[in-house]
C-alpha cells in the first residue's frame, strides 16, 4: 500500500513537484528575508559598535554624562593599567583604548599660509602595536582609497571626501588645531599618508584617523584615554551578555561621588542606542513574524487547495473500501513528506542566497548621501541559527495544517458526495 501511495505521489506532479516547489519558494523567501533583516539591523548596530560605542564602553562618570561632546578633560587616567585590569577580569572580551576628539584641520599652502580648513572628527586608535586588531576591526585596509596605512608616528589617514574638500593628497602635511585635555590650545602636525572611505556617510564627512600615541601627544593625554571599548567574543553584540558584564564591573568600580570614577556601559546603555537596539529588535521581530505569518497563510492555503482537489480521488478510494481514517492519515503523511522536502530545499536555497548577500552585500551608498546616522552603505545578510529552522513554520507546519483542515471534509461529507465531486 505504501508503495502504491508513493508511486502516486511521485507520478502526480500536481501532488508532489508543484507543492514542493511552492513550499520551497515560500521557505526560501522566509529564510532569506529573515537573514536579510537580521543582517541589515545587525550591521547597523555593529557599525556603531566598531566605530564609536563598542559592545561595552568604559569611561569616567563625567565623560559618560557628556558623552556626545567627547569631553577629553574627563578622560580616563592611567588607562594602561585599567586596560590590563579589564583584560585580566574579562578575558573573553577584546578591550581597546581610544581617544575621540574634535578639532580643526588646517591645510597650508607652499608658503605655510592656510589654504583650506575644515572641522574634523578625530579618532586615535592603537594602530602601531603589533598585537592590535583595531585596523581590521575598523576595516581600514579595505577602506583605503589612496596612499597607504599608518606605519610611523606622526602619520594620519583622512577621509576621502574630507581630503577632496581640503585639496589634500597623501604626502601633504596638515595641522590639527584642538584643545588638550587640560583645556589649553593644541596644534599638531600630521603627515597624511592615505585617504579612506568607510562607507558610512556620517564618518566619511570629516574623519581623521591617527595612532593613539600621536593623539595622546597632540592632546596632552599621556597614559590617558577618552574611552576603553570592549568587543564581545564572536564579534556579535548580545545585549544580555553586555549588560551582565557592565553590571558586574559597575558593582565593583562605580562611585557616584567622583567624576573620574570609571563606569561601564553596554552599547544599549549609551545615549539613544538603547532605544535603537530595542527598536531594531522589535522591528526585526515584527517584520520577520509578519513575513513568516504571510508565508504560513500562503502555504496553508496551498495545502488546503491541494487536498480539496483530491476529494474525488478520496471518494473512489473510500468506495473501494479504504477507511476514512486511513485516507486521512495518508493525506497527512504526504503533506509531511512534501513539507519536509520543500522546507529542506527552500532552506538550502534561502541560506545560499543569504550567504551570497552576507559575503558580497548590496551597495546602497547612492541612497545614503547626506545621512547623519551611522548606517552601513552596503547591505549584508546575517545568517543566524534561527534561519536553519525558521522555514519549518510555513513549510511544514502550515502545509500539514492546511492538509489536516482540508482532510476534515473526508469525515464531514457523505462518502457518496465525495466521489460525486470527481464527476462534477
**Which residues in this chain contact another protein in the complex, by CB under 8 A?**
1, 4, 7-8, 11-12, 312-313, 315-324, 414-416, 419, 422-423
- Nearest Cα to Cα of residue 292 among 341, 350, 250, 333: 350
For residues 142 and 417, which CB has a smaller minimum distance to another protein in the complex?
Answer: 417
CB of 11 to another protein, least distance (A): 4
Contacts of 352 (CB under 8 A, 6+ apart): none
For residues 216 and 310, which CB has a smaller minimum distance to another protein in the complex?
Answer: 310
- Nearest Cα to Cα of residue 149 among 166, 161, 132, 165: 132
CB of 407 to another protein, least distance (A): 15
CB of 30 to another protein, least distance (A): 31
For residues 1 and 252, which CB has a smaller minimum distance to another protein in the complex?
Answer: 1
- In degrees and rounded to multiples of 5, residue 189 shows phi and psi of -90, 135
CA–CA gap between residue 360 and residue 40 (Å, rounded): 13
Pairing of β 262-266 and β 173-179: unpaired
CB of 8 to another protein, least distance (A): 5
DSSP at 128 = S
CB of 403 to another protein, least distance (A): 18
DSSP H helices in 177-238: 201-204, 212-219
For residues 183 and 325, which CB has a smaller minimum distance to another protein in the complex?
Answer: 325
For residues 112 and 321, which CB has a smaller minimum distance to another protein in the complex?
Answer: 321
In the numeric block, which cell numbers belong to residue 380? 549584508
Q: 399-412 and 324-359 are packed helices; what angle lies between their axes, rounded to 10 degrees? A: 160
For residues 5 and 392, which CB has a smaller minimum distance to another protein in the complex?
Answer: 5
CA–CA gap between residue 296 and residue 398 (Å, rounded): 5
CB of 384 to another protein, least distance (A): 41
3-state secondary structure of 202: helix
CB of 331 to another protein, least distance (A): 15
The answer to whether 77 and 225 have CB atoms below 8 angstroms apart is no
For residues 11 and 88, which CB has a smaller minimum distance to another protein in the complex?
Answer: 11
Amino acid at each position: 500500500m505504501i508503495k502504491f501511495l508513493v508511486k502516486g505521489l511521485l507520478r502526480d506532479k500536481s501532488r508532489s513537484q508543484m507543492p514542493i516547489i511552492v513550499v520551497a519558494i515560500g521557505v526560501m523567501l522566509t529564510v532569506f528575508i529573515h537573514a536579510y533583516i537580521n543582517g541589515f539591523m545587525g550591521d547597523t548596530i555593529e557599525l556603531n559598535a566598531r566605530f564609536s560605542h563598542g559592545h561595552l564602553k568604559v569611561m569616567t562618570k563625567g565623560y559618560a554624562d557628556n558623552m556626545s561632546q567627547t569631553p577629553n578633560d574627563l578622560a580616563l587616567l592611567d588607562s594602561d593599567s585599567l586596560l590590563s585590569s579589564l583584560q585580566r577580569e574579562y578575558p573573553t572580551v577584546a578591550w581597546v583604548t581610544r581617544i575621540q576628539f574634535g578639532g580643526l584641520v588646517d591645510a597650508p599652502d607652499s608658503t605655510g599660509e592656510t589654504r583650506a580648513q575644515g572641522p574634523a572628527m578625530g579618532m586615535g586608535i592603537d594602530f602601531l602595536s603589533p598585537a592590535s586588531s583595531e585596523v581590521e576591526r575598523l576595516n581600514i585596509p579595505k577602506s583605503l582609497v589612496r596612499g597607504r596605512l599608518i606605519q610611523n608616528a606622526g602619520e594620519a589617514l583622512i577621509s576621502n571626501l574630507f581630503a577632496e574638500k581640503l585639496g589634500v593628497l597623501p604626502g601633504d602635511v596638515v595641522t590639527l588645531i584642538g584643545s588638550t585635555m587640560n583645556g589649553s590650545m593644541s596644534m599638531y602636525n600630521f603627515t597624511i599618508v592615505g585617504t579612506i572611505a568607510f562607507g558610512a556617510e556620517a564618518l566619511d564627512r570629516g574623519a581623521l584617523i591617527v595612532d593613539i600615541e600621536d593623539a595622546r601627544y597632540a592632546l596632552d593625554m599621556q597614559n590617558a584615554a577618552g574611552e576603553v571599548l570592549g568587543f564581545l567574543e564572536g564579534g556579535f553584540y548580545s545585549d544580555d551578555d553586555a549588560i551582565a558584564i557592565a553590571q558586574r564591573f559597575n558593582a565593583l568600580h562605580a562611585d557616584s561621588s567622583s567624576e573620574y570614577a570609571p563606569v561601564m556601559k553596554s552599547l544599549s546603555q549609551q545615549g539613544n542606542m538603547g532605544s535603537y537596539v530595542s527598536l531594531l529588535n522589535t522591528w526585526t521581530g515584527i517584520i520577520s513574524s509578519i513575513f513568516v505569518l504571510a508565508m504560513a497563510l500562503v502555504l496553508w492555503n496551498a495545502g488546503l487547495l491541494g487536498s480539496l482537489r483530491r476529494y474525488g480521488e478520496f471518494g473512489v478510494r473510500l468506495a473501494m473500501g479504504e477507511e476514512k481514517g486511513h485516507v486521512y492519515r495518508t493525506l497527512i503523511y504526504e503533506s509531511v513528506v512534501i513539507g519536509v522536502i520543500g522546507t529542506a530545499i527552500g532552506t538550502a536555497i534561502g541560506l545560499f542566497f543569504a550567504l551570497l548577500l552576507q559575503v558580497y552585500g548590496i551597495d546602497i551608498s547612492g541612497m545614503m548621501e547626506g545621512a547623519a546616522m551611522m548606517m552601513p552603505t552596503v547591505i549584508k545578510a546575517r545568517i543566524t541559527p534561527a534561519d536553519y529552522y525558521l522555514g519549518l513554520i510555513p513549510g511544514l507546519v502550515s502545509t500539514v495544517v492546511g492538509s489536516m483542515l482540508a482532510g476534515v471534509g473526508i469525515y464531514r461529507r457523505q462518502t457518496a458526495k465525495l466521489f460525486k465531486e470527481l464527476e462534477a
